[in-house]
Structure 1
Protein backbone atom coordinates (compact mmCIF):
# COMPACT_ATOMS: atom_id res chain seq x y z
CA UNK A 1 0.00 0.00 0.00
CA UNK A 2 1.45 3.31 -1.09
CA UNK A 3 0.25 6.25 0.98
CA UNK A 4 0.71 9.71 -0.45
CA UNK A 5 0.69 12.74 1.84
CA UNK A 6 0.67 16.29 0.54
CA UNK A 7 3.48 18.25 2.22
CA UNK A 8 1.59 21.50 1.54
CA UNK A 9 -1.45 20.24 3.48
CA UNK A 10 -1.84 22.11 6.76
CA UNK A 11 -4.19 19.59 8.39
CA UNK A 12 -2.86 17.64 11.38
CA UNK A 13 -0.76 14.64 10.35
CA UNK A 14 -3.17 12.06 11.81
CA UNK A 15 -5.96 13.51 9.63
CA UNK A 16 -3.70 13.31 6.60
CA UNK A 17 -2.93 9.65 7.36
CA UNK A 18 -6.65 8.88 7.73
CA UNK A 19 -7.38 10.72 4.49
CA UNK A 20 -4.67 8.85 2.59
CA UNK A 21 -6.02 5.48 3.77
CA UNK A 22 -9.59 6.60 3.02
CA UNK A 23 -8.45 7.48 -0.49
CA UNK A 24 -6.68 4.11 -0.90
CA UNK A 25 -9.91 2.33 0.08
CA UNK A 26 -12.05 4.49 -2.22
CA UNK A 27 -9.70 3.89 -5.16
CA UNK A 28 -9.67 0.13 -4.60
CA UNK A 29 -6.04 -0.02 -3.51
CA UNK A 30 -7.23 -1.62 -0.26
CA UNK A 31 -10.23 -3.92 -0.44
CA UNK A 32 -12.59 -5.12 2.31
CA UNK A 33 -11.00 -7.89 4.35
CA UNK A 34 -7.48 -6.90 3.31
CA UNK A 35 -4.95 -6.32 6.08
CA UNK A 36 -3.05 -3.07 6.35
CA UNK A 37 0.66 -3.01 7.08
CA UNK A 38 1.51 -2.71 10.78
CA UNK A 39 1.41 0.83 12.18
CA UNK A 40 5.17 0.71 12.79
CA UNK A 41 5.82 -0.02 9.13
CA UNK A 42 3.47 2.76 8.04
CA UNK A 43 5.11 5.22 10.43
CA UNK A 44 8.58 4.37 9.10
CA UNK A 45 7.44 4.68 5.49
CA UNK A 46 5.82 8.07 6.20
CA UNK A 47 8.61 9.30 8.48
CA UNK A 48 6.35 10.05 11.43
CA UNK A 49 5.66 8.89 14.95
CA UNK A 50 3.80 5.58 15.29
CA UNK A 51 1.28 7.23 17.65
CA UNK A 52 0.32 9.68 14.91
CA UNK A 53 -0.38 6.77 12.54
CA UNK A 54 -2.33 4.93 15.25
CA UNK A 55 -4.47 8.02 15.86
CA UNK A 56 -5.34 8.12 12.15
CA UNK A 57 -6.16 4.40 12.17
CA UNK A 58 -8.41 4.81 15.23
CA UNK A 59 -10.29 7.61 13.44
CA UNK A 60 -11.01 5.23 10.58
CA UNK A 61 -12.08 2.49 13.00
CA UNK A 62 -14.55 4.93 14.58
CA UNK A 63 -15.90 5.69 11.10
CA UNK A 64 -16.39 1.98 10.49
CA UNK A 65 -13.80 1.76 7.72
CA UNK A 66 -11.27 -0.38 9.60
CA UNK A 67 -11.49 -3.31 11.99
CA UNK A 68 -8.86 -3.94 14.64
CA UNK A 69 -8.43 -7.68 15.07
CA UNK A 70 -6.52 -8.83 18.11
CA UNK A 71 -3.52 -10.84 17.02
CA UNK A 72 -4.33 -10.34 13.33
CA UNK A 73 -3.78 -6.62 12.84
CA UNK A 74 -5.90 -4.00 11.15
CA UNK A 75 -8.12 -4.86 8.19
CA UNK A 76 -10.44 -2.93 5.90
CA UNK A 77 -14.03 -3.42 7.09
CA UNK A 78 -16.70 -5.04 4.94
CA UNK A 79 -18.56 -2.34 3.01
CA UNK A 80 -15.82 0.21 3.63
CA UNK A 81 -15.36 0.82 -0.07
CA UNK A 82 -18.97 2.06 -0.30
CA UNK A 83 -19.02 3.93 2.97
CA UNK A 84 -15.90 5.97 2.21
CA UNK A 85 -17.58 7.78 -0.69
CA UNK A 86 -20.53 8.69 1.49
CA UNK A 87 -18.30 9.86 4.33
CA UNK A 88 -16.40 12.10 1.91
CA UNK A 89 -19.65 13.64 0.66
CA UNK A 90 -20.81 14.25 4.23
CA UNK A 91 -17.48 15.92 5.06
CA UNK A 92 -17.89 18.17 2.02
CA UNK A 93 -21.44 19.02 3.09
CA UNK A 94 -20.30 19.89 6.62
CA UNK A 95 -17.51 22.08 5.21
CA UNK A 96 -19.92 23.83 2.81
CA UNK A 97 -22.40 24.39 5.62
CA UNK A 98 -19.69 25.83 7.87
CA UNK A 99 -18.66 28.17 5.07
CA UNK A 100 -22.26 29.41 4.95
CA UNK A 101 -22.44 29.79 8.73
CA UNK A 102 -24.36 26.61 9.58
CA UNK A 103 -23.27 24.17 12.25
CA UNK A 104 -23.62 20.41 12.37
CA UNK A 105 -26.78 20.68 14.46
CA UNK A 106 -28.29 22.94 11.78
CA UNK A 107 -27.56 20.26 9.17
CA UNK A 108 -29.12 17.58 11.35
CA UNK A 109 -32.26 19.72 11.70
CA UNK A 110 -32.36 20.19 7.91
CA UNK A 111 -32.05 16.43 7.33
CA UNK A 112 -34.76 15.67 9.87
CA UNK A 113 -37.06 18.14 8.10
CA UNK A 114 -36.68 16.38 4.73
CA UNK A 115 -39.50 14.16 3.48
Structure 2
Protein backbone atom coordinates (compact mmCIF):
# COMPACT_ATOMS: atom_id res chain seq x y z
CA UNK A 1 0.00 0.00 0.00
CA UNK A 2 1.34 3.38 -0.97
CA UNK A 3 0.86 6.19 1.54
CA UNK A 4 1.95 9.57 0.35
CA UNK A 5 2.04 12.88 2.14
CA UNK A 6 2.77 16.44 1.13
CA UNK A 7 4.46 18.44 3.88
CA UNK A 8 3.54 21.70 2.13
CA UNK A 9 -0.20 20.91 2.07
CA UNK A 10 -2.60 22.69 4.38
CA UNK A 11 -4.25 19.29 5.01
CA UNK A 12 -3.00 17.68 8.21
CA UNK A 13 -0.55 14.79 7.85
CA UNK A 14 -2.95 12.50 9.72
CA UNK A 15 -5.76 13.33 7.28
CA UNK A 16 -3.40 12.78 4.34
CA UNK A 17 -2.60 9.30 5.68
CA UNK A 18 -6.31 8.52 6.05
CA UNK A 19 -6.95 9.87 2.53
CA UNK A 20 -4.23 7.61 1.11
CA UNK A 21 -5.90 4.56 2.63
CA UNK A 22 -9.35 5.68 1.43
CA UNK A 23 -7.93 6.19 -2.05
CA UNK A 24 -6.46 2.68 -1.92
CA UNK A 25 -9.88 1.31 -0.97
CA UNK A 26 -11.54 3.14 -3.83
CA UNK A 27 -8.88 2.07 -6.36
CA UNK A 28 -8.86 -1.53 -5.11
CA UNK A 29 -5.22 -1.62 -4.02
CA UNK A 30 -6.43 -1.95 -0.41
CA UNK A 31 -9.10 -4.52 0.38
CA UNK A 32 -11.13 -5.75 3.31
CA UNK A 33 -8.88 -7.96 5.47
CA UNK A 34 -5.62 -6.23 4.47
CA UNK A 35 -3.28 -5.16 7.24
CA UNK A 36 -2.06 -1.59 7.18
CA UNK A 37 1.64 -0.98 7.76
CA UNK A 38 2.61 -0.82 11.44
CA UNK A 39 2.48 2.79 12.63
CA UNK A 40 6.13 2.78 13.69
CA UNK A 41 7.45 1.57 10.33
CA UNK A 42 5.14 3.85 8.31
CA UNK A 43 6.24 6.81 10.43
CA UNK A 44 9.88 5.92 9.77
CA UNK A 45 9.24 5.57 6.03
CA UNK A 46 7.41 8.92 5.85
CA UNK A 47 9.82 10.59 8.29
CA UNK A 48 7.01 11.72 10.59
CA UNK A 49 5.98 11.06 14.18
CA UNK A 50 4.39 7.68 14.94
CA UNK A 51 1.52 9.42 16.76
CA UNK A 52 0.65 11.26 13.56
CA UNK A 53 0.23 7.90 11.81
CA UNK A 54 -1.88 6.66 14.72
CA UNK A 55 -4.09 9.77 14.43
CA UNK A 56 -4.59 8.97 10.74
CA UNK A 57 -5.50 5.41 11.61
CA UNK A 58 -7.89 6.67 14.31
CA UNK A 59 -9.70 8.77 11.68
CA UNK A 60 -10.19 5.60 9.63
CA UNK A 61 -11.34 3.68 12.70
CA UNK A 62 -13.90 6.40 13.47
CA UNK A 63 -15.16 6.02 9.88
CA UNK A 64 -15.52 2.25 10.50
CA UNK A 65 -13.05 1.44 7.73
CA UNK A 66 -10.40 -0.22 9.91
CA UNK A 67 -10.08 -1.95 13.25
CA UNK A 68 -7.05 -1.51 15.50
CA UNK A 69 -6.13 -4.15 18.07
CA UNK A 70 -2.99 -4.51 20.16
CA UNK A 71 -0.73 -7.15 18.69
CA UNK A 72 -2.82 -7.41 15.55
CA UNK A 73 -2.29 -3.94 14.15
CA UNK A 74 -4.64 -2.03 11.89
CA UNK A 75 -6.82 -4.20 9.66
CA UNK A 76 -9.22 -3.02 6.97
CA UNK A 77 -12.70 -4.10 8.05
CA UNK A 78 -14.91 -2.65 5.34
CA UNK A 79 -15.09 -2.19 1.63
CA UNK A 80 -15.07 1.39 0.48
CA UNK A 81 -18.58 2.82 0.60
CA UNK A 82 -19.65 4.70 -2.54
CA UNK A 83 -19.62 7.92 -0.55
CA UNK A 84 -15.87 7.47 0.03
CA UNK A 85 -15.17 7.87 -3.68
CA UNK A 86 -17.29 11.01 -3.85
CA UNK A 87 -15.69 12.45 -0.72
CA UNK A 88 -12.18 11.82 -2.04
CA UNK A 89 -13.10 13.34 -5.42
CA UNK A 90 -14.46 16.44 -3.64
CA UNK A 91 -11.32 16.80 -1.54
CA UNK A 92 -9.19 16.51 -4.65
CA UNK A 93 -11.38 19.01 -6.55
CA UNK A 94 -11.25 21.58 -3.75
CA UNK A 95 -7.46 21.24 -3.44
CA UNK A 96 -7.05 21.73 -7.21
CA UNK A 97 -9.40 24.70 -7.25
CA UNK A 98 -7.58 26.35 -4.35
CA UNK A 99 -4.20 25.80 -6.04
CA UNK A 100 -5.69 27.43 -9.13
CA UNK A 101 -6.48 30.48 -7.01
CA UNK A 102 -10.25 30.05 -6.91
CA UNK A 103 -12.08 31.58 -3.96
CA UNK A 104 -14.61 29.73 -1.84
CA UNK A 105 -17.39 31.58 -3.67
CA UNK A 106 -15.93 30.67 -7.08
CA UNK A 107 -15.72 27.01 -6.07
CA UNK A 108 -19.30 26.94 -4.78
CA UNK A 109 -20.57 28.74 -7.91
CA UNK A 110 -18.81 26.20 -10.12
CA UNK A 111 -20.29 23.29 -8.17
CA UNK A 112 -23.76 24.86 -8.31
CA UNK A 113 -23.47 25.37 -12.08
CA UNK A 114 -22.31 21.79 -12.64
CA UNK A 115 -25.01 20.35 -10.38
CA UNK A 116 -27.66 22.39 -12.17
CA UNK A 117 -26.38 21.24 -15.58
CA UNK A 118 -26.29 17.60 -14.45
CA UNK A 119 -29.90 17.68 -13.24
CA UNK A 120 -31.31 19.25 -16.40
CA UNK A 121 -31.53 15.98 -18.29
CA UNK A 122 -30.62 15.42 -21.94
CA UNK A 123 -33.13 17.90 -23.33
CA UNK A 124 -32.27 20.67 -20.89
CA UNK A 125 -36.00 21.19 -20.31
CA UNK A 126 -36.33 19.34 -16.99
What is the TM-score normalised by the length of structure 2? 0.63
- Structure 2 CA distance, aligned partners of 1:81 and 1:45? 28
1:28 paired to 2:28: yes
2:63 aligns with 63
- Structure 1 CA distance, aligned partners of 2:17 and 2:74? 14
> How much has 1:10 moved relative to structure 2?
1.8
Structure 2 unaligned spans of 5+: 93-103, 106-126
What is the TM-score normalised by the length of structure 1? 0.68
Indicate the structure (1 or 2) with the bigger Cα radius of gyration.
2
- Structure 1 CA distance, aligned partners of 2:89 and 2:2? 24
1:38 aligns with 38
- Structure 2 CA distance, aligned partners of 1:4 and 1:78? 21
Contact between 2:34 and 2:75, CA under 8 Å: does it hold in 1? yes
- The number of equivalent residue pairs is 99
Contact between 2:39 and 2:54, CA under 8 Å: does it hold in 1? yes
**Equivalences for residues 78-97 of structure 1 within 5 A:** 78-80=78-80, 82=82, 84-88=84-88
Contact between 1:65 and 1:84, CA under 8 Å: does it hold in 2? no
2:10 aligns with 10
In structure 2, relative to structure 1, the CA distance for the partners of 1:90 and 1:8 (3 Å cut) is closer
**Hey, which bits of structure 1, 4+ residues long, moved more than 4 A?**
89-92
Structure 1 unaligned spans of 5+: 93-98, 101-115
- Structure 2 CA distance, aligned partners of 1:3 and 1:71? 22
- Structure 1 CA distance, aligned partners of 2:85 and 2:8? 24
